[in-house]
Structure 1
Amino acid sequence: MSTFVVFDLEFTSWSGALERDWTGPGQLREIVQIGALRISAGDSAEDHCVVEEYEALVRPVVNPRLSPYFTGLTGIDQETVDREGVAPAEALSDFLGFCQGQSVLSYGNDMIVLGENTGWARARGEEVKNGFLTAGFLNIRPWLNAVAPTTASASSGRLWEALGLPRPVAGREHSALFDCYSIAAAIRHVCAGGARLPEGCL
């Protein structure tokens, strides 16, 4: 069965960081949560269904204390990250292993943040297994906004709502796995209506 991966990241942030493009002193986009879905590919009614989930919490290194802004946005609290989070190199290695040989789609340029975090881990002397070269990363936001203009102002976690679809799973926006399900629901919806994923996705 042919499959592709949809992924989403939550990373450290502070009030106003987005507007400043994370240029505040010491403010890096350190990954705190990775969510991903492996999805069946093809043109039949049974396709674009979730085959496998991946989720990880990650302990940030430069800014190990989460900001109140980040916790309010994502619902991810310090105690949970301290208890369940893994080292960045471990999470990155596992996630890149999940992506091997797949097209890997994000709603936005999350692969840039992934690359930043991989670079920082390697600069600290940590081994990140399973490199980028075995997967094809693609930002599908321009494609989705073109085939479904009502999504243009929607975040990944609000795509289902922008398209008038049922809530895809329990959960909340800015939870990485929930946002993946929202992206997957949008892909399934527009493909059922006749759209085809952009070239290079499969």
Structure 2
Amino acid sequence: MSTFVVFDLEFTTWPEALEQDWSAPGQYRELVQIGALRLRHDFSVVEEYEALVHPVMNPRLSPYFTELTGIDQDSVDREGLPPAEALGSFLSFCQGQSVLSYGNDMVVLGENVAWARARGEEIKASFLTPGFLNIRPWLNSVAPETATSNVGRLWRVFNLPRPTTGGEHSALFDCHSFAATLKHLHTTGATLPSAFL
């Protein structure tokens, strides 16, 4: 059975961090949540992946991040995995798959892999085996109305049923929004380029 993965990340942020590209002193895009779906080529879900991650350089979440994502400090302190463990688990989930994102989330993954390795932590899966691809440029070209939408709002652009888990800026919710959009575009005649799969 042929499958592929869509994924989304939530990472540490502060007011104006996006606009300033996380350039303020001490601001790093550390993972806090990873969400992913393994999909068949008919866009049905085979498997879900979700993990909370405990950031190391900024272990205290900003109030801005918590308000944006709904992820609170107690949950991260209680359930958050060490970064290397979460990265290894997620990369294992992705092994041998095309892995699609709506944006350059693979860059943030790469940053977090580099930081973990710089701390001497072992990541028990390869970052190089999965085929990571940002399909936002393709999606925005076939559906220009999506150009100003983040991944968690894509379902709204097409008036699709609201994903049932969580809310916008929850990684797994955003993955369901992404998958529903891909399925919708497919049913209306858009075809994912074979290079993506």
Task: Give the TM-score of the pair, scaled to structure 1.
Answer: 0.96
Match of 1:79 in 2: 74
Amino acid paired to 2:171: A
The percent of aligned pairs where both chains have the same amino acid is 72
Match of 2:116 in 1: 121
Amino acid paired to 1:35: G
1:94 to 63, 82, 89: 89
2:2 aligned with 1:7, yes or no?
no
Contact preservation (8 Å) 1:103, 1:137 = yes
Amino acid paired to 1:21: D
Task: Give, in whole Å, the separation in 1 of the partners of 2:96 and 2:144.
Answer: 31
2:60 aligned with 1:65, yes or no?
yes
SS in 1 for 2:190: coil
Contact preservation (8 Å) 2:35, 2:51 = yes
Deviations 1:52-90 (A, max 9, x none): 000000000000000000000000000000000010000
Task: Give the TM-score of the pair, scaled to structure 2.
Answer: 0.98
Summarize the alignment of residues 8-23 of structure 1 with structure 2, pairs less than 5 Å apart. Answer: 8-23=8-23
Gaps of 5+ in 1: 42-46
RMSD: 0.7
Deviation at 1:149, TM superposition (A): 1.3
SS in 2 for 1:18: coil
Task: Give, in whole Å, the separation in 2 of the partners of 1:131 and 1:196.
Answer: 29
Gaps of 5+ in 2: none
Task: Give, in whole Å, the separation in 2 of the partners of 1:157 and 1:68.
Answer: 20
Contact preservation (8 Å) 1:105, 1:138 = yes
Aligned residues: 197
2:185 aligned with 1:190, yes or no?
yes
Deviations 1:107-164 (A, max 9, x none): 0000000000000000000001211221100001011111111111110000000111
Contact preservation (8 Å) 1:34, 1:57 = yes
After TM superposition, the runs of 4+ consecutive aligned structure 1 residues lying more than 4 A away are none
2:196 aligned with 1:201, yes or no?
yes
